[in-house]
Amino acid sequence: MIARFMTILAAFTLVLVFQAPPLGADETCQSPYMPKITGQEEYVYVWTLGQDGVGDASDKLVTIDVRPDSKTRGKVINSHSVGGQHEAHHAGFTSDRRHLWAGGLDTNNIYVFDVATDPSNPKLVKTIDTFVSDSGGAVGPHTFYALPGRMMITALSNDKDNSGRTALVEYSNDGKFVATHWMPTSDKPQGAKVNGTADGYGYDVRVNPKKNVMLTSSFTGWSNYMMDFGKMVKDEDAMKRFGQTVVVWDLHTKKPKQVLNVPGAPLEIRWAWDPEHNYAFTTTALTSQIWLIHEDDNGEWQATAVADIGDPKKLPVPVDISISSDDKTMWVDTFMDGKARLFDISNPKAPKQIYEKEIGKQINMVSQSWDGKRVYFTSSLLANWDKKGDDNEQYLKAYDWDGKELKEAFEIDFTKEGLGRAHIMRFGSGELYSG
């Protein structure tokens, strides 16, 4: 009964958020359980991979001032090194947004930063180095996604064979282990209806509270993501070790319901925002397609390939995506050609590309403001997958978007600044904690 009440309350809250007029400039890919930034984002936090010969060569959280009238706008104002190289990758806020959790895919360390006391200068307050033992063997903490009072973490691998078979792992906001939820497999479907195969792989996680649905996507294991990219693509066995599923979970019981066939390594998942839009998108890295995850008339979830991204034969490798707050457009970054493409998704069953721009020699993450007027890009994919030589550009680039053209506002060269490889971004604001 209590769980059902919380379901209704969460759905009601989400509807209120969606139906209210846009007040803020927050990122559009954040958890619906988090408070939103009301107004202009003030800081961009970048979780950065240490690189030999660059600065102190350690992973670090970098804070960039993006306040419009600030004398240090577009400048690095603080950075906090965590010591060593851990394959820094993704990071996410807790549901109260007071702490930012950031993980290392190689060493499995999780770093918790206090971003509320002084948003301009986050402080490391906790290190969790027991992820593997806590979870019972999950490896590679990837996505950090806020649930009420909890952090849901997707893992990418396991400590038995380093393959992509893995789990979801829950912690409380204060860093205490709660539960492990292993991905369904063909031999252990856990009651899920399987469409094709159930590979047990993981990558991203996103929820739709009003539908009581949680989606997870699938990537590859430690043996692949820690391998040199050029070597991996020539290894036939390695190229077979990529995910091909999206799992539909019951959000509240954390039980898998369906395993959808989405071949080609589906990565980021993004739900549409409108309360009447019961669908999500993902893109496949190896087949360069946009996939629609949608509910049919019978209440069953389906996965449909709805558009190509560039020329799939040239392997542009789509990586990050970002849906606009009005569900009309979606940015898609493609790593190999360094391009950001904008798709019209007003008809979700037939996305159409309407714009593209080369951002750099390589590109990975994209974050756009809630009002859609500012778009930020970073460069690093994985330490062993980034390009070599002059093509190994490492940056944060900020653009203004007027609906027709991306116009560069500023750029930070992370190599020149001694900061390393720029990966994921998150927005910060002191206004959220004032008063």
Average pLDDT, the chain: 93
Give the pLDDT score at 28: 79
First to last CA, the chain: 36
Give the pLDDT score at 431: 80
Q: Enumerate residues 6+ apart whose C-beta is below 8 A from 202.
A: 142, 154, 155, 156, 164, 166, 167, 168, 183, 216, 217, 218, 219, 243
* Angstrom distance (rounded) from CA 385 to CA 155: 19
**Structural contact between residues 368 and 331, judged by C-beta atoms closer than 8 angstroms:** yes
Q: What is the mean pLDDT of residues 248-267?
A: 98
* Angstrom distance (rounded) from CA 264 to CA 260: 13
SS3 171: strand
Give the pLDDT score at 299: 87
Q: What is the mean pLDDT of residues 280-308?
A: 96
In a domain, 18, yes or no: no
Q: How many domains does the chain have?
A: 1
In a domain, 9, yes or no: no
pLDDT band at 8 (very low <50, low <70, confident <90, very high): very low
In a domain, 374, yes or no: yes
Give the pLDDT score at 275: 87
In a domain, 236, yes or no: yes
In a domain, 12, yes or no: no
The whole domain housing 112 covers: 23-433
Cα distances (angstroms) measured from residue 101 to each of 122, 172, 408: 11, 12, 29
In a domain, 404, yes or no: yes
In a domain, 2, yes or no: no
Give the pLDDT score at 35: 87
Q: Give me the CATH number covering residue 243.
A: 2.130.10.10
Could you read off the pLDDT of 364-403 as tens digits, one per residue? 999 999 899 999 999 999 999 999 999 999 999 999 999 9
In a domain, 210, yes or no: yes
Could you read off the pLDDT of 192-208 as tens digits, one per residue? 999 999 999 999 999 99
Of 21-35, 43-57, 390-404, give the lowest mean pLDDT range. 21-35
